[in-house]
Amino acid sequence: MGNEAKGYVYILTNPAFRENWVKIGKSSRPVNVRSKELDNTAVPLPFEIYATMCTVKYAEAEKLVHKYIERFTNLRIRNNREFFNVKPEEALEIFYDVQLVIDDAEIEVFDNKKKAQLQKRMAKKEQPKPAEHIFFCTRGGSNAKGYLRESGEFVVLAGSELRSGECESLPPHSIEKRNAFIESQCSQSNEKIILNADNTFPSPSAAAAMVIGGSSNGWINWKDADGKTLDAVYRKK
C-alpha cells in the first residue's frame, strides 16, 4: 500500500448554488487543481473546497460516501451527476463515518464557516452551554454520556461505559483501532469497559462509533435526558 498513489474525495460548494447543494467527487490530483478545472462557463462562480479526504482507496471511499448518503434517501440532484442535496456539514459527518472503515484516510476541513454556523444555530435556539447539555448513548448495551463542543467535536465523559464487543460489520483494522483505544484509555471491571478520562472525538458519529463498536449516526444515537436527539437540539430549526 505504501507504494500506491493517494488521491482525494472532496466536498465542494459554490456560492451560485443553493446552501444545501454540494459536489462530492474524487480526484487523483490535488483538489485545488480539480476545482479550477470545474470553473468553466457552465457555472457563474468558482467552486470552494469545503473538505477533503486523502487516501490510496479514494475510489472506494467516494463510493462509500455516495452510498451512505443514498441509504437514507435519493439525494442526488441528477442520477448521473455528483451533486447532492445535502448540507456540507452533514456531508462532512459522512466523511468521518467513512474514515472509520478506510484505515489510511485523513480528513482536512477548509471552511471555517462550519464552526460559525454551528455557533449561530446554538445561539439562535438559546441552548445552554454544550458542557451543561449532556447527551447519552445506550445502543448495544453501552452507557455513555458526553456533550457537543462549539467546534463540532464531541466529548465523551469519564466513567462512560463502552459496549463490550463490536458489530459484525466492523472491519478488522477498525477493531484493532478500537481495541488499542480501550487498552490505553479504559479500565475493565466486572466485564464492563469504563472510560478513564474525558476523550474528544472529531464528530458525534466518531464518538458514537467508538462507544458502540460500529458505524453510527451520532446525531441520532446521542439523546438527552428528555429523549431529544443531538440532531433535534442543534440542527432542527
Q: Provide the residue ranges of all domains of the chain, joining segments of one domain with +.
A: 7-111, 119-234
Residue 65 C-alpha from the chain's centroid: 11
Helices (H), the chain: 31-37, 58-70, 88-99, 113-124, 172-185, 204-212, 218-221, 230-234
**Beta carbons of 160 and 210 less than 8 angstroms apart:** no
The predicted structure's pLDDT at residue 9: 94
**Per-residue confidence (pLDDT) for residue 96, from 0 to 100:** 84
The pLDDT value given to residue 99 = 85
pLDDT computed for residue 129 by the predictor: 46
Average pLDDT by stretches of 10, the chain with 237 residues: 79 85 90 79 79 92 85 54 81 85 85 56 47 86 92 90 86 86 88 91 90 89 94 78
Report pLDDT digits (tens) over 46-64: 888 899 999 999 999 999 8
Cell of residue 152, nine digits: 463540532
- Cβ atoms of 141 and 166 within 8 Å: the answer is no
Phi-psi region of 141 (alpha: psi -120 to 50; beta: other; left: phi over 0): left
